[in-house]
Every structure is written in C-alpha cells, then in structure tokens.
Amino acid sequence: MRLLPHAWCLDVIFSEDDSRIRKDHAPQNMTILKRLALNLLRQDNSKSSLKMKRYQAGLNNHFLLHILSNSGIF
C-alpha cells in the first residue's frame, strides 16, 4: 500500500497509526486537528524537521505563539 505524502506525514509526526482514538466522531475530529497543526508547522520557515517543530512547540510557549502568529490565527 502506498501512502499519500500527507498521510505519511501524519503517521510519522503524530503516530496516527498507533492512535487509540476510535469511538464516535473522535477519529475524524482528531485528524482534522492534526492536519491543521501540520499545516501550521509547514508554514514556519525554520530549518528544523516537522517533528522537531512539533516537539519545540510543545515545550516552548514562545515558539508556539510564533507558529500561531505566522498563520494569521492570532
């Protein structure tokens, strides 16, 4: 089975294949949120990998605000 680039990124960055979210609409809702987060991380021009950007955003509130402010959300 060949994965689409977007699906591959979701699996690698968010470990989507290992997700235990299976009830009701939760899987679809989480996929939407993960795609939103992935697109926000892609808009950042730093040279870090997407996985590292996600990690940094989780640890550093200033970096998270930088990611969100570049997107136009805030």
Domain ranges of the chain: 5-71
Q: Look at residue 46 in the predicted model and tell me its pLDDT.
A: 87
pLDDT at 70: 84
- Single pTM value for the model: 0.74
Per-residue pLDDT of the chain in tens (74 residues, 90 and over written 9): 444 566 777 777 777 777 787 888 887 888 888 888 888 998 998 899 888 999 999 999 999 999 999 877 66
Query: Which amino acid, 26?
Result: A
Between helix 26-43 and helix 5-14 the angle, nearest 10°, is: 100
* pLDDT number for residue 3: 46
The predicted structure's pLDDT at residue 16: 73
